[in-house]
Structure 1
Amino acid sequence: MLEKTFDPKSVEPRLYGAWEQSGAFAPTADPSAEPFSIVIPPPNVTGSLHIGHALNNTLQDVLIRFERMRGKAALWLPGTDHAGIATQMVVERQLAAAGNMTRRDMGRDEFVAKVWEWKAESGGTIVNQLRRLGASCDWSRERFTLDEGLSAAVRKVFVTLYKQGLMYRDKRLVNWDPFFQTAISDLEVEQKEVEGAYYHFAYPLEDGSGEIVVATTRPETMLGDTAVAVHPDDERYKHLVGKCVRLPIVGRPIPIVADDYADPEKGSGAVKITPAHDFNDFQVGKRHNLPSINVMDDFARINDAAPAEFRGLDRFVARRKVVEQMEALGLLRGIEKTRHMVPHGDRSGVPVEPYLTDQWYVNAEVLARPAIKAVEEGATVFEPRHWEKTYFEWMRNIQPWCVSRQLWWGHRIPAWYGPDGRVFVEETEEAARAAAREHYGRDEPLRQDEDVLDTWFSSGLWPFSTLGWPEKTADLERFYPTHTLVTGFDIIFFWVARMMMMGLHFTGEVPFKRVFINALVRDAEGKKMSKSKGNVMDPLELVDEFGADALRFTLTAMSGQARDIKLSRQRIEGYRNFGTKLWNATRFCQMNGCARAAGFDPAAVKVTLNRWIVGQTARTARAVTEALAGCGYDEAAGALYRFIWNVFCDWYVELAKPILNGADEAARDETRATAAWALDVILKLLHPVMPFITEELWAQTAQEGAARVHDGFLMTAPWPDLPESLIDPAADAEIGLVIAAVSEGRSVRAELNVPPSARPALLVIEADPRQREVLLANASVIGQTLRVSEVRVEATAPEGAIPYVVEGATLALPVAEFIDLAAERARLAKEIGALGADVERTARKLSNPDFVARAPEEVVEENRERLAEAEAAKAKLEGALARLAGVG
């Protein structure tokens, strides 16, 4: 017999350990099984499980468990990303805390060894946290982006791209983090609003005929100005185009150029151009062949290209000094305070500089073409489909991809330089030396490139490198292309697109057939979670409090396409109660002798109630199967919830009680067997979403007396494949009428505050012969569930009876003797009035365009939901009041 309650804290680790030890997470070796593979979006090795991870990995696990039970060779391949900058930062901070030491004090080799040491001791915490969530990854195949196999793939790809002319070195602007002294990707840049100012400076014309005024928020960059731009159609400046101004402080003449980038409506209409320190200016500089003068070093200090008095100054100290000198020269025309967005390094927290450096680049435009075509032609499909637009917008306007980083932790770039600067790009140092020997005719000293590769470069190879490429492994042959990628919208550019480019270029096939973009998890008010707001929800704390199943079901149920998830503890608690409801229903079945019958055939049941539940089970199995196959996670969860809670636990169990307690032995035995069969199907259908409680119930109900009904795990049991012929329309109609009569009768009782102890009769006033027959035949169960004294046919409703209609039949409850009619009318009228005022107030707010435009999106949505709820409640009470209108 089951314990009274399910204890997740003791059950979850025991079950997970048994699953993992059994090898059940590995794909079946059956060569006839259809492959179905998912690669995990590799979390950072420095990471710990946050709520976004919990959502993403729950959805992957639901899908992989579903396909595993469907008999497919289901592989969920796990791993972690070396996370170059994040991991290096962790270890550098440890060094600083331990003895005020830097990586440069240690030297490269010793520092990298220290990082590997940290990785062995502390890295991969998130992997164990995923286990707590129930993630059924094949841990025997776990990969790491810096393991030898993946490193070999990275070197192969780099060298191949270089020899194909698609990898090259160039001097371009990058996002530069002065704290880490490295280029960083757009994804690692965080925009922050800060206090700042527009400084209006006058640049004197070289011929002394006047001046032109420009504005900047970064005065220090003027030291590297190489032009002033005006719009070609701006009449104010047409006569100046081609002339020069004398750059203040520096004294260098710089030209005035005509370019569409200058906005005549903004400020003076003239803009300073600093190609080495601004992305837009860089493009202007290319169009006009302007020199690019870098005036900063790697630490964002002013370098030797600037006047002597500025050299070595921090950029912000230099800013103040430039403003002071411009004022002293009489060229400061104003300071306009402002708040503006400034890019910051998301790890370092310092402002990022657009910085001109030599870096390695991939010709992404060429690689993007087949990746665009693959999505256009449907070889890879996005769900929801509207995310394809985001993908196309970026891919069709793609820029060269900067893949080098000035870090020590990562894949070292396989490029060696000879004494004359010639580069030799090979997979190994031995091959590079051989190439150099062939070139020079003798051995020459070679120096390997100091940089490492962008983390996104190695993770861009993830779907095929993890399966053993460039070796032609059995896993690569069997599981590539992968089937579904589950990921967030924020890395469509940075990861999804790059996997598409790399996968197609190096394997000739798309890396995945479907990309499911999961939602963003917000707090209960719809606000984005952040530590500063104090509204972050820790998934591990939620698992401790409610169990993994409750969190998983909540995330699955709320993961509807194209909408964010508003997560609250109340929701998770509600779904924990759902698990408790199933547990209690299973205990009820056990206590009433519900046992699996050998050779049970659901198509052969005779009792109407059993024919009904068999059909409802088949209908639900079909709905859940179709939903999960199409990534309709919320639809699957909704179908499961309605069926398990409302249909099975509330109605079937309740309606079965008279049969289980009755004298008809054949009906009793059939109902016991049917209940046990339906429970088995329920456990299978629910398992992908709530694996722990279902596995425990499966194990606890496997032994019946001396007989063992089934062996093995539920997670490897076959998925229910129930024919549509099990659906019985006649049984649906009969039990549907009983349920409708009871449900609507309960609503009447609740609306009118009829005491639970009151036992009025249920009167059948108008009904066709079939309906009368059904209601009278089920009088006993209706009496128990609706708490009525009897069910009888009457020609008319007596005074004091409340009529209601179900499926065209008019029924009535004589309740006047149990309630104060006048008081009820007054109560309902008062509540309707209060709800009406709330409706009017909320509707007025939502009809105000200013409110809708200015209020946060979550506040507007909250008001819409409030209006809908108030309108529905008001309509319900108005219906109740109308029922009382004809009652004396």
Structure 2
Amino acid sequence: MTTPDPTRELPKSWDPAEHEGRLYQGWVDAGYFTADATSDKPAFSIVIPPPNVNGSLHMGHAYEHVLMDALSRRRRMQGYEVLWLPGMDHAAIAMQTMVERKLAAEGLTRDDLGREKFIERVWTEKAEISGNIGEQMRRLGDSVDWTRERFTMDDGLSRAVHTVFKQMFDEGLIYRAERLVNWSPVLKTAISDIEVSYDDVEGELVSFRYGSLDDAEPHIVVATTRMETMLGDTAIAVHPDDERYAHLIGAELDHPFVDRRIPVIADDYVDPEFGSGAVKITPAHDPNDFAIGQRHNLPMPTIMDDEARIADTGTQFDGMDRFEARVKVREALAEQGRVVKEVRPYLHSVGHSERTGEPIEPRLSMQWWVNVATLAQAAGDAVRNGDTVIHPKSMEPRWFAWVDHMHDWCISRQLWWGHRIPIWYGPDGEIVCVGPDEQPPAGYTQETDVLDTWFSSGLWPFSTLGWPEKTADLEKFYPTSVLVTGYDILFFWVARMMMFGTYVGPQLGGDNKVPFDNLFLHGLVRDEHGRKMSKSRGNGIDPLDWVERFGADALRFTLARGANPGSDISVGEDHAQSSRNFATKLYNATKFAMMNGAALGELPDRASLTEADRWILDRLAQVRAEADAGFESYEFSKACEALYHFAWDEVCDWYLELAKVQFAENDETRSHATSLVLGTVLDELLRLLAPVMPFVTEVLWKALTGGESLVVAPWPEATESTPDTAAAQHIDDLQRLITEVRRFRSDQGLRPGQRVAAEIDGLDAAGLTASRAYLDSLARLENADDGFAATATIDVRLSSATVTVRIDTSGTVDVAAERKRLAKDLAAAEKELAQTTGKLGNEQFLSKAPDHVVAKIRDRQQVATEEVERLTAALSALGGV
């Protein structure tokens, strides 16, 4: 038997800052997180969604990391060879924008430096700031393999990018074409859909007239919120069944400013019920118009340059910013008498660049594209065939809705920082794609654009393991076991990885059809009121702030306790404080148990154990199964809730107290058995909590067991035993009985440690004869002497009988003082009840208050009602009402 020495092993109290840094470095130095590709253990692998190199981890990152770490730590304890691979993304737009901002402060532009010097500057900035994220990950306790850390622009990943680009180009899956893109006039580049956010903006809807100003002559009225785009109009569309315009279809009307005739065309896209039923078509600056332009083979003149200034229209508006032109065009049309009516304000949705904040400009531009048809089909089939399983399953329709209707992907960006597209142009317009081991022909110049960041991060699951080389890491750890990421980037990153993974899979051989076997989609972290965290609201939470104030375990448990597949979670300081209290409770309870006899060794035969011992062991087995089921199904909340309530409500609040009674009986055999049961329960509980709370459990477990480390300790395994249902019922009855007596004592104002005489009837009928010692100890009762006269009676209905407890409180309660205290509490409770009832009876309040506020008022009302009833009864018992 192992008997720990807590006085030597454990400090007086739990101080996370004292332990966390030292413990983490010890784990890294011991090589616990370093994966062995030659191991014969089953593999478990996760690649980290790479955070942007120029940023820092926000609460959403912390949430994601805690879940990945919990999965990794548990699998490591289960005997898997675990690789959790860390790395960062070069974040092309974000990083270039940051460096250009710094240059601007120095009075410079990137053009002043030139491409080569600018790239050198970005690399320098990257080296200075990239360590910040790594330090944050260490503070969180991430059990990543630091020896395999990768970066999306390191040599190995660059080779993977060039290899896959070359293969896809040669197969015709990558092509160059002039298409409509989201254009950022500030960044002067195309940007992806994920980098565009849509906000409602107040503008003006202006109706103006094409054609003759004479109502008797051909004319048509259209409306727009973007007057400047009419300079690029090449048609007016009406619905083919709209009789109002049937006579105009095929007619051509003069453009007011440009030497161009505007045809009236018929297209089913037009809604005849909206506005005038006629729509102006600007194919080069609107996605819907572009589609119509393709269908009708319309000209597509681009009327803005890369900074969104009017250009090449041959009008007086050339050189104007688009917003200035919007006003000037309207004024010029008004002067001609063409403005029919103006509506102010007009609320409409406008896309904005998330990086720079300005409205994006749909713009026709020559770009590089991926033909996604076959790739998207394969990505969809991978889920349909079960090769990749999405958790929760309810997210599958969203997945199919996206991949089954995916448009070709614009992969070129007009930036300098990033993977430069490996295309070279010859002097006579020749185009050559150069692979990683090839040289361009003499006299050729390279494409200036770089690839979309999602292109390189889409290769992440296999490029980080050494592809295109056939490495031991690829052989052992690919496909990865699970991808943990937010549902908000399901379409942008996950879809890219699935397309690339299914594309390169056949090259890897075997069953490598997909980049990950499971896809676990978590929700967003919201504030305690359910609002999305954002800088503008000022409700963001720095995870490292919580680590400093509450400890890493508290942060981790708070996030894991609220985590379920696909669901958002709300967190606030109250949650973190509760988790910190849990860590402290666990620490104090374990230390107390160790000082009072907890030990490790082989358990005695179950028949020789007390009912309390069998009950807690059975509950441990049940909670172990609940935790396992929760972790396996990615329902972290269920696992954490089961462990929390078992630890706090059953082990700390009940079994420790019952065990103290057993220790006090001076029965060596029973005390020995209790020591072993207590030690077994704590040993397994600490191991079950370790994936989520690795620091406090490590300190406690090593002190309890003398073991090397929980990181490499075996995960608790299920044991075969038939639960003792009779013992469980008796303990449940005992708890109910003790709780009722305690409540009565509290209502009567008895001091917690004050013992009172009692007579008890019905224990035999309830099967609790052997539990009298527990009852006396935990309810602070003592046997009645001769001449006992009860002053109060408590009847407690249990599962099989009613137990009557008669108590003599004479001389133990200052009746007048207690009546005064209860009356004061009753008055406060009645005031609270009146206030809450008044609010809930106010229809104006109910109509305006948020749901969560109303819910809180209802909860307060319910508590106040119960308090009034309880205090009234207590006063009645004292003769006070």
Scaled by the length of structure 2, the TM-score of the pair is 0.91
User: Quick one: distance in 2 between partners of 1:75 and 1:808?
Assistant: 54
Match of 2:282 among 267, 274, 278: 274
1:802 CA drift (Å): 3.8
Range moving further from structure 2, 632-641 or 752-761: 752-761
State whether residues 56 and 486 of structure 1, in contact with CA within 8 Å, keep that contact through their aligned partners in structure 2. yes
Match of 1:366 among 374, 399, 409: 374
1:880 CA drift (Å): 8.5
% identical aligned pairs: 46
In structure 2, the CA distance between the partners of 1:756 and 1:585, relative to structure 1 (3 Å rule), is closer
- State the Cα deviation string for residues 209-243 of structure 1 (Å, max 9, x = none): 14322111111111000111122232322222221
1:780 aligns with 2:778: no
State whether residues 761 and 805 of structure 2, in contact with CA within 8 Å, keep that contact through their aligned partners in structure 1. no
**Number of the residue aligned with 2:586:** 582
Secondary structure of the 2:316 match is helix
In structure 2, the CA distance between the partners of 1:762 and 1:154, relative to structure 1 (3 Å rule), is farther
Structure 2 unaligned spans of 5+: 1-6, 507-512
1:160 CA drift (Å): 1.1
- State the Cα deviation string for residues 790-820 of structure 1 (Å, max 9, x = none): 499xxxx978424332324323455786578
Residue type at the aligned position of 1:594: A
Matches within 5 A, 1:7-406: 7-28=15-36, 31-98=39-106, 100-205=107-212, 209-304=217-312, 306-338=313-345, 339-406=347-414
User: Quick one: distance in 1 between partners of 2:843 and 2:756?
Assistant: 45
In structure 2, the CA distance between the partners of 1:846 and 1:667, relative to structure 1 (3 Å rule), is farther
In structure 2, the CA distance between the partners of 1:163 and 1:759, relative to structure 1 (3 Å rule), is same
1:531 aligns with 2:524: no
**Number of the residue aligned with 1:680:** 683
1:36 CA drift (Å): 0.8
User: Quick one: distance in 2 between partners of 1:547 and 1:319?
Assistant: 55
Residue type at the aligned position of 1:48: S
1:413 aligns with 2:406: no
**Number of the residue aligned with 1:521:** 525
Residue type at the aligned position of 2:314: P
1:837 CA drift (Å): 7.8
**Number of residue pairs matched?**
857
State whether residues 763 and 811 of structure 1, in contact with CA within 8 Å, keep that contact through their aligned partners in structure 2. no
Residue type at the aligned position of 1:544: E
User: Quick one: distance in 1 between partners of 2:778 and 2:877?
Assistant: 27
User: Quick one: distance in 2 between partners of 1:789 and 1:838?
Assistant: 43
Residue type at the aligned position of 1:189: V
1:719 aligns with 2:710: no
- State the Cα deviation string for residues 816-846 of structure 1 (Å, max 9, x = none): 8657899979977995896598479649869
User: Quick one: distance in 1 between partners of 2:576 and 2:413?
Assistant: 43
**Number of the residue aligned with 1:644:** 647
Residue type at the aligned position of 2:41: A
1:432 CA drift (Å): 4.0
In structure 2, the CA distance between the partners of 1:218 and 1:833, relative to structure 1 (3 Å rule), is same
In structure 2, the CA distance between the partners of 1:200 and 1:94, relative to structure 1 (3 Å rule), is same
1:16 CA drift (Å): 0.6
State whether residues 611 and 728 of structure 1, in contact with CA within 8 Å, keep that contact through their aligned partners in structure 2. yes
1:803 aligns with 2:795: yes
User: Quick one: distance in 1 between partners of 2:654 and 2:36?
Assistant: 39
Secondary structure of the 2:236 match is strand
Range moving further from structure 2, 657-666 or 807-816: 807-816
User: Quick one: distance in 2 between partners of 1:331 and 1:118?
Assistant: 54
State whether residues 766 and 802 of structure 2, in contact with CA within 8 Å, keep that contact through their aligned partners in structure 1. no
1:885 CA drift (Å): 9.2
State whether residues 301 and 312 of structure 1, in contact with CA within 8 Å, keep that contact through their aligned partners in structure 2. yes
User: Quick one: distance in 1 between partners of 2:490 and 2:124?
Assistant: 33
**Number of the residue aligned with 1:462:** 460
**Number of the residue aligned with 1:484:** 482
1:860 aligns with 2:851: yes
User: Quick one: distance in 2 between partners of 1:499 and 1:880?
Assistant: 63
User: Quick one: distance in 1 between partners of 2:574 and 2:314?
Assistant: 64
In structure 2, the CA distance between the partners of 1:545 and 1:555, relative to structure 1 (3 Å rule), is same
Secondary structure of the 1:239 match is coil
Range moving further from structure 2, 290-299 or 859-868: 859-868
- State the Cα deviation string for residues 471-527 of structure 1 (Å, max 9, x = none): 111111111111111111110000111111110111141111211111211111111
State whether residues 395 and 566 of structure 2, in contact with CA within 8 Å, keep that contact through their aligned partners in structure 1. no
Secondary structure of the 1:416 match is strand
In structure 2, the CA distance between the partners of 1:203 and 1:137, relative to structure 1 (3 Å rule), is same
State whether residues 748 and 880 of structure 1, in contact with CA within 8 Å, keep that contact through their aligned partners in structure 2. no
In structure 2, the CA distance between the partners of 1:29 and 1:312, relative to structure 1 (3 Å rule), is closer
- State the Cα deviation string for residues 106-127 of structure 1 (Å, max 9, x = none): 1111111111111122224212
- State the Cα deviation string for residues 106-153 of structure 1 (Å, max 9, x = none): 111111111111112222421221110000001111111111111111
In structure 2, the CA distance between the partners of 1:431 and 1:528, relative to structure 1 (3 Å rule), is same
State whether residues 801 and 887 of structure 1, in contact with CA within 8 Å, keep that contact through their aligned partners in structure 2. no
State whether residues 764 and 772 of structure 1, in contact with CA within 8 Å, keep that contact through their aligned partners in structure 2. no
State whether residues 760 and 814 of structure 1, in contact with CA within 8 Å, keep that contact through their aligned partners in structure 2. no
User: Quick one: distance in 2 between partners of 1:489 and 1:791?
Assistant: 65
Match of 1:662 among 657, 660, 665: 665
User: Quick one: distance in 2 between partners of 1:67 and 1:89?
Assistant: 40
State whether residues 159 and 436 of structure 2, in contact with CA within 8 Å, keep that contact through their aligned partners in structure 1. no
RMSD of Structure 2 on Structure 1 (CA): 3.0
User: Quick one: distance in 2 between partners of 1:552 and 1:320?
Assistant: 54
- State the Cα deviation string for residues 433-458 of structure 1 (Å, max 9, x = none): 2xxxxxxxxxx521111111100111
User: Quick one: distance in 1 between partners of 2:533 and 2:526?
Assistant: 6
In structure 2, the CA distance between the partners of 1:575 and 1:237, relative to structure 1 (3 Å rule), is same
**Number of the residue aligned with 1:555:** 559
In structure 2, the CA distance between the partners of 1:225 and 1:754, relative to structure 1 (3 Å rule), is farther
In structure 2, the CA distance between the partners of 1:206 and 1:151, relative to structure 1 (3 Å rule), is farther
User: Quick one: distance in 1 between partners of 2:180 and 2:862?
Assistant: 57
User: Quick one: distance in 1 between partners of 2:473 and 2:464?
Assistant: 9
In structure 2, the CA distance between the partners of 1:302 and 1:62, relative to structure 1 (3 Å rule), is same
State whether residues 839 and 871 of structure 1, in contact with CA within 8 Å, keep that contact through their aligned partners in structure 2. no
**Number of the residue aligned with 2:736:** 740
Residue type at the aligned position of 1:809: A
Match of 1:591 among 592, 595, 612: 595
1:192 CA drift (Å): 2.7
Range moving further from structure 2, 417-426 or 733-742: 733-742
Range moving further from structure 2, 69-78 or 257-266: 257-266
State whether residues 764 and 791 of structure 1, in contact with CA within 8 Å, keep that contact through their aligned partners in structure 2. no
In structure 2, the CA distance between the partners of 1:718 and 1:866, relative to structure 1 (3 Å rule), is farther
State whether residues 738 and 775 of structure 2, in contact with CA within 8 Å, keep that contact through their aligned partners in structure 1. yes
Range moving further from structure 2, 543-552 or 669-678: 669-678
Secondary structure of the 1:560 match is coil
1:614 CA drift (Å): 2.2
Secondary structure of the 2:247 match is helix
In structure 2, the CA distance between the partners of 1:762 and 1:865, relative to structure 1 (3 Å rule), is farther
1:876 CA drift (Å): 8.2
**Number of the residue aligned with 2:4:** none
Structure 1 unaligned spans of 5+: 434-443, 703-708
- State the Cα deviation string for residues 19-44 of structure 1 (Å, max 9, x = none): 11111002356733111111111100
- State the Cα deviation string for residues 39-79 of structure 1 (Å, max 9, x = none): 11110001101100110000000110001000011111111
Scaled by the length of structure 1, the TM-score of the pair is 0.90
